[in-house]
Chain A
Amino acid sequence: MVDIEKANALAVEKFMEARPVAITLAKALEIVPGMHENMLLHAGPPVTFERMSGPTKGAMIGALLFEGKAKNPEEAEKLLKSGKIEFSPCHEHMCAAPMAGVISPSQLVYVIENQTHGIKCYSNLNEGRGKVLRMGAYSEDVLEKLRWMEAVLGPTIKTALEAMGGIDVRAILAKALHSGDDGHNRLDTASLLWTTQLAPYIAKTAKNTETAFEVTKFLGENALSILNPVMAGCKTMTAAGHNIEGSTIVTIMSRNGTDWGIKVSGLGDKWFTAPSPVVKALYFPGFTEKDACPDIGDSVITETAGIGGFAMATAPALVTFVGGEPRDAINTTLDMYEITEGEHKQFTIPFLDFRGTPTGVDIRKVVEKQITPRVNTGVAHKDPGVGQVGAGVVSAPMKCFEDALIAFADKYGYN
């Protein structure tokens, strides 16, 4: 007989014990499990080329151009349709990547190690805002930046990280939550802390001062510098709580612009999916909801681990996304306590008397109370190559959780 309560407590305990440290970078082909020459990873649950969202298709085209497997977008699209390229979700390869989340074999990826449980997860380098591959852009300037990142940015950070013995991602997040970050949509503080820890070692180990200058400037100017290591770090936390017999805790939430998907600790490798909803967002000038791609990206791994939208109460600057009043931000977090197993031991909220963030979504509570996880997120344009058009909040589709509950009942005999 399974003891659900005990299983859930154990899963969430593992989430919280996990201590992710950024240790180095390496080529995806060399380090990502299951990666091969003709594979492209993408965000969210599995999807066919026909059903792929615009940004995902765009990012795939861009990746093939970057890899040198196609000379132009038409050729790339033809190759993608040919069946010669294998598409696979990042999450099936211990990766998590933002928006389209396309990781190609020769990209450099961060290696984040959960030093409590010895689990390693990976994510690519953040390109900053604007026209970027992760939003489905693949113009020459986008590719140019990617090449610079592979040649200069990545190797420089790698040397610095190795020289300093790694950066404790969890410690940065804990501090950032006390300084107005939610850990997902707002990472201004965390990115600065990341940069200031790296900077001295970059100064010391970079090829030359010009490289040190360029790299430090790029990291310092990008308020999302740390997003990708944070996502891989969060994945090392929730992966530690996955595959616990009898647990109803969600260990993966993710979307690909077409579908929303979740995995549950006690339900193994099965995805539970539903159509991805459109984000309720504030749009950049000139864009409206009609331009928006349905919700996309692996970044909801942060909410899965207990931060992001769940920590809204500690990030009042983000309230414009949820209705405009600080009260609404606090209520968002309070709602999330209704559907989570525990309160985080490492991540706390000063405004709520340092209460831990709501951690470990329990599918039972989601279905019973009909409250789905609230996610803070960016919005991509639905067409490839345009880029980000806004940011806002979205609620996960209930169907994923209801289907998972039924599957749980089938597996464990609660029918």
Chain B
Amino acid sequence: MATFKTEVRSGVYYDSAKLMSLQRSLAGLPGVLDAGVVMGTDSNKELLAHIGLDTPEVKATKPDDLAIVIKAENEKAALDALAQVDGLLAARKGGSEQEYQPRSIESATDMLPDAEWVIVSVAGRYATAVTREALRLRKHVHLFSDNVSVENEIELKKEARDLGLLVMGPDCGTAMVDGYGLAFANKIRKGPIGIVAAAGTGLQQVATRIHQLNSGITFGIGTGGRDLKAEVGAITFLMALDVLARDDDTKVIVLTSKPPSPKVAEEVLKVARKAGKPVVVNFIARPITTTRDGNLFFATGLDDAARLAVELAHNPPKLVSDADLPIKKFTAKQKYLRGLFSGGTLAYEAQHILYGYIPRVLANSPINKEFQLPDAFVSQENCIVDLGEDEFTQGRLHPMMDNELRIRRLYEEAKDPEVAVILLDVVIGYGSHPDPASEIAPAIAKCIADAKKDGRHLEVVCVVCGTDEDPQNLNNQMAQLKAAGALVDTSNEVICRYVGRILRALAERDEPKAHALGKPVDLEKIKKPLAAINVGLESFAANLKDQGAPYVQVDWKPPAGGNEKLMNILQKMKSPRK
């Protein structure tokens, strides 16, 4: 018959690593069958219940009680084990010893004024207050702790942004600064690539692959997995991106994330396009519609991202800006695309590609029902009209054979003062109209001329699908269209991407300026040799010691011994009274 002995200690606090090591040591003692050492939180008590260690004393514990349960062969073995608790707790592992462990971040700051970083790994319910204290002392925070609410995360990150400080986390496993790893991290050589990751192991995978490919990194900045969720809105991610964009040692940036909010992901990419250096993007579960968009390079996975980054660092690509686009020629009112297609698949592809540039394109045959154009005969906003659809072909020839309807629609669209771009396809070959350009080109020319009279620039772009051996002759068709003033290409994708860039530039032209970035992070300061203050798991301090980075371990205890009433008063006394 097994004996259970329980000891409860109130108002004490040890980090979970310490408790686990104590538990392991106790379980290994002679005559001990099992041991449980936990702080008395509900989830911990459940854990003990699962393994049958939930004695009545354990059930009565509170979150700030340390519960030690021994299941032993007999009472003596259990009592002997309990008698060893203090000795085992006092046993310090080598590596993180320092002569004096301060009790607060403030005192640690006095001891190590050069520390720019505070690593926080205390229990989640205390992590917000500890992080806030670190921010108050103007430190960047690597917030390893989990179980921090998203509301608190947002508050902390906003507070940090106003101060020009990074809050990496919560639940941020990894960060690499100045060749040193914080928390879970690999030894990566210094090099030209900077990484921002809302993904702990994602950062580790990319960084290690970069190292294996004989390159290295400047920074690996973790943001916590929720940073790219809609609620948080990439606060830390954007700040980190800004740091890497400004850092001259960073030649290539890698952005990676656990599945992001699509809207936030696009926001981030919008900013990334202005980084002025190549940015490799790997957002898990975000569909890739192109491998490259200006300075953005889209990777198919973490490994591919590392490979791409290393390659781009070796062979810097020529970066084209949007200067080639005719944005300034448009009037302030002009902003929409009207795509008038004869080919159904080309119309679909146009929608698909354009979604990579702008969020909303209506169509009479939309990929996504949400973008249904209510009336195919009346254009609205940005829209793609497939004139080969049934509604247009009842009682008349297909638009690949008869241009009349499309030309009539072309004139209509060209008159609309909000229209900036008109996109047409011209499909030739057997069965098609014998010389479509002969009818379409003059119409284009008239539209452009009429618009000009009206003080507008109209951008007309055409994709021509055919060959030089087709009866209509590709070159002949293209020449006519070009002469009319259209931009012409044989690739639907090339044409659509060109249109996409214009529409995106127009949308951004009309957006209120300035992304809320708060105060920029002081680049010089975070490039100083790493020194850190560690609050929580002592093993993280040991890691810093092993890497030769100066550090101070804080002997942290829950404020007011975890007494809610007193904690509440203290908190109120810190902030100005209402």
User: Residues 332-345 of chain A: 1 if any B CB is under 8 Å from the residue's CB, otherwise 0?
Assistant: 00110110000000
> Is B570 touching A367 in the complex (CB atoms < 8 A)?
yes
Binary per-residue interface labels of chain B (532-557) against chain A in the complex, 1 for a CB within 8 Å, 0 otherwise: 00000000000000000000000001
Cross-chain contact B559 with A368 (CB below 8 angstroms): yes
Which of A330, A369, A414, A415 is close to B559, meaning CB atoms less than 8 Å apart?
Answer: A369
A338 lies within 8 A of B107 (CB): yes
Contacts A330-B100, A338-B104 given; does A402 touch B566 at CB 8 Å: yes
* Complex CA distance for A4 and B103, rounded to whole angstroms: 22
Whether B518 is near chain A, meaning CB under 8 Å from some CB there, is: no
Across the interface, B577 reaches (CB within 8 A) one of A327, A405, A414, namely A414
* B99 located at the interface, meaning its Cβ lies under 8 Å from any Cβ of chain A in the complex: yes
Q: A414–B572 contact, CB under 8 A? A: yes
**Interface size band for B:** 20 to 34
The answer to whether B560 touches A370, judged by C-beta atoms less than 8 angstroms apart, is yes
Q: What is the minimal beta-carbon distance from A411 to any residue of chain B, in angstroms? A: 12
Are A371's CB and B103's CB within 8 A?
yes
A contacts with B: majority SS: helix
The complex places the Cα of A4 from the Cα of B559 at a distance, in Å, of 19
Q: Which residue of B is nearest A414, CB measured?
A: B572
Asked if A164 CB lies within 8 Å of chain B CBs, one says: no
Contact yes or no, A405 B572, CB < 8 A = no
Closest to A2 in B: B577
B72-115 CB contacts (< 8 Å) to partner A: 99-100, 102-104, 107, 110
State whether the Cβ of A285 lies closer than 8 Å to any Cβ in chain B.
Answer: no
CB distance from B133 to the nearest CB of A (A): 10
B1 within 8 A of A: no
What is the chain B residue whose CB lies nearest that of A415? B569
Q: Indicate with 1 or 0, residue by residue over B564-578, a CB within 8 angstroms of chain A CB atoms.
A: 011001101100110
B103 interface neighbour in A364, A369, A413, Cβ under 8 Å: A369
A405 to B563, CA, bound (A): 13
CB-CB nearest in chain A for B567: A368
A394-415 residues at the B interface, CB under 8 angstroms: 402, 405-406, 408-409, 413-415
User: Are B566 and A405 in contact, CB atoms less than 8 angstroms apart?
Assistant: yes
- Assuming the contacts A368-B560, A370-B557, A370-B561, asked whether A338 and B102 have C-beta atoms less than 8 A apart, the reply is yes
Cα A371 to Cα B103 in complex, Å, equals: 9
From known contacts A1-B576, A4-B573, infer whether A367 and B566 are also in contact, taking CB-CB under 8 Å: yes
Question: What count of chain A residues pass the 8 Å CB interface test?
Answer: 24
Complex contact A334–B572 (CB within 8 A)? no
Interchain CB contact under 8 A, A409 and B572: yes
Residue of A nearest to B129 (CB): A368
* Docked-complex contact A1 and B104, CB < 8 angstroms: no
Q: Bound complex: CA of A415 vs CA of B568, how far in Å?
A: 8
Nearest Cβ on chain A to B381's Cβ, whole angstroms: 54
CB distance from A4 to the nearest CB of B (A): 6
Q: Is A38 an interface residue (CB 8 A)?
A: no
> A196 near B: Cβ within 8 Å?
no
Partner of A334, one of B102, B557, B563: B102
The total number of A-B Cβ pairs within 8 Å is 56
- Closest A residue, CB atoms, query B101: A331
- Chain B residues in 8 Å Cβ range of A4: 573
> What is the distance, in angstroms, from B408's C-beta to the closest C-beta of chain A?
74
Separation of A337 and B103 alpha carbons in the complex (Å): 10
CA gap between A338 and B105 in the complex, in Å: 10
Asked if B102 and A406 make an inter-chain contact with CB atoms under 8 angstroms apart, the answer reads: no
Chain B residue with Cβ nearest A4: B573
> What residues of B have a CB within 8 angstroms of the CB of A402 in the complex?
560, 563, 566
Distance between B65 CB and nearest chain A CB, rounded to angstroms: 15
Q: A248, A334, A364, A408: which contacts B100 (Cβ < 8 A)?
A: A334
Docked complex Cα distance between A338 and B107 (Å): 7
- Give the residue name and chain of the B residue nearest to A339 (CB): B103
| The residue from B99, B100, B560, B576 contacting A367, defined by CB atoms under 8 A apart | B560
- Using known A-B contacts A364-B570, A367-B560, A405-B566, determine if residue A335 contacts B576 with beta carbons closer than 8 Å: no
Given the known inter-chain contacts A334-B107, A405-B566, please indicate yes or no for A414 contacting B102, CB distance below 8 A: no
Residue of A nearest to B13 (CB): A370
Most chain A C-beta atoms within 10 Å of own C-beta, residue among B557, B559, B569, B570 = B569
Task: Give the distance to chain B from A206, nearest Cβ to Cβ, in Å.
Answer: 50
Give B100 Cβ to nearest chain A Cβ, in Å: 5
- Verify A331–B100 contact, CB threshold 8 A: yes
Asked whether, in the complex, the Cβ of A1 is within 8 Å of the Cβ of B103, the reply is no
A369–B100 Cα distance when bound, in Å, is 16
How far, in whole Å, are A409 and B577 apart by their CA atoms in the complex? 12
Contacts of B99 in A (CB 8 A): 327, 331
Tell me the B418-449 residues at the A interface (CB within 8 Å). Answer: none
Interface residues of A in 164-217 (CB under 8 A from B): none
Q: Which of A327, A331, A335, A368 has the most CB of B within 10 A?
A: A368
> Considering the chains assembled together, what is the distance between the CA atoms of A334 and B573 in angstroms?
25
> Given A367-B566, A369-B559, A414–B103 Cβ distance below 8 Å?
no
CB of B98, distance to nearest CB on chain A (Å): 11
Contact between chains at A409 and B560 (CB < 8 Å)? no
Known contacts A334-B102, A335-B103, A413-B577, A369 near B557 by CB under 8 Å: yes
Min C-beta distance of A397 to chain B, whole Å: 13
- Interface residues in A101-122 (C-beta closer than 8 Å to B): none
CB neighbours of A327 from chain B (8 A): 99-100
Query: Which residues of chain A from 358 to 415 have any CB-CB distance to chain B below 8 Å in the complex?
Result: 364, 367-371, 402, 405-406, 408-409, 413-415
Q: Give the complex CA separation of A12 and B523 in angstroms.
A: 38
- Residues of chain B contacted by A367 (CB below 8 angstroms): 560, 566, 570
Residues in chain A near residue B566, CB distance under 8 A: 367, 402, 405-406
Per the bound structure, the CA–CA distance linking A415 and B572 in Å amounts to 8
Kindly report which residue of chain B lies nearest to residue A413, judged by CB atoms.
Answer: B577
Chain A contacts for B570, CB-based, 8 A? 364, 367-368, 405
Q: Considering the chains assembled together, what is the distance between the CA atoms of A335 and B102 in angstroms?
A: 7
- Complexed CA–CA distance, A371 and B561 (Å): 10
Chain A window 21-61, contacts with chain B (Cβ cutoff 8 Å), 1 for yes, 0 for no: 00000000000000000000000000000000000000000
Considering the complex, give the chain A residue whose CB is closest to the CB of B110. Answer: A337
A289–B307 Cα distance when bound, in Å, is 72
Chain A residues with Cβ under 8 A from B110's Cβ? 337
Q: B577 CB to closest chain A CB, in angstroms?
A: 6
List chain B residues, Cβ under 8 A from A370.
11, 557, 560-561
How far, in Å, is B13 (CB) from chain A's closest CB? 10
Q: Which residues in B have their C-beta under 8 angstroms from that of A413?
A: 577
CB distance from A54 to the nearest CB of B (A): 32
Q: How far is the CA of A248 from the CA of B572 in the complex (A)?
A: 14
**Interface hits, B1-18 → A, CB 8 Å:** 11
C-alpha gap A370/B104 in the complex (Å): 11
- A residues near B560, Cβ cutoff 8 Å: 367-368, 370, 402
Kindly list chain B residues whose C-beta atoms are within 8 Å of the C-beta of A248: 573
Contact of A364 among B104, B557, B573, B576 (CB under 8 A): B573
Q: Shortest distance in angstroms between A366's beta carbon and chain B's nearest beta carbon?
A: 10
Q: Judging by beta carbons under 8 Å apart, are B103 and A338 in contact?
A: yes
Q: Mark B1-44, 1 if CB is under 8 A from A, else 0.
A: 00000000001000000000000000000000000000000000
Least CB distance, B571 to chain A, in whole angstroms: 9
For residue A338, which residues in chain B have a CB less than 8 angstroms away from its CB?
Answer: 102-104, 107
Considering only CB atoms, which chain A residue lies closest to B569 in the complex? A409
What's the least CB distance linking A238 to chain B, in Å?
22
A414 x B107 contact (CB < 8 A): no
User: When A and B form their complex, which 7 residue pairs have the shortest distance between CB atoms, in order from nearest?
Assistant: A409-B569, A414-B572, A338-B103, A368-B559, A370-B561, A369-B103, A334-B100
Question: Which residue numbers of A lie inside 8 Å of B, CB to CB?
Answer: 1, 4, 248, 327, 330-331, 334-335, 337-338, 364, 367-371, 402, 405-406, 408-409, 413-415
13 contacts between A and B (CB under 8 A): A248-B573, A330-B100, A334-B102, A335-B103, A338-B104, A338-B107, A370-B11, A370-B557, A370-B560, A405-B566, A405-B570, A409-B569, A415-B569
Which residues of chain B have a CB within 8 Å of any CB of chain A? 11, 99-100, 102-104, 107, 110, 557, 559-561, 563, 565-566, 569-570, 572-573, 576-577
Further contacts, 8 of them, CB under 8 A, given A367-B560, A369-B557: A337-B110, A367-B570, A369-B559, A370-B11, A370-B557, A370-B561, A402-B560, A415-B569
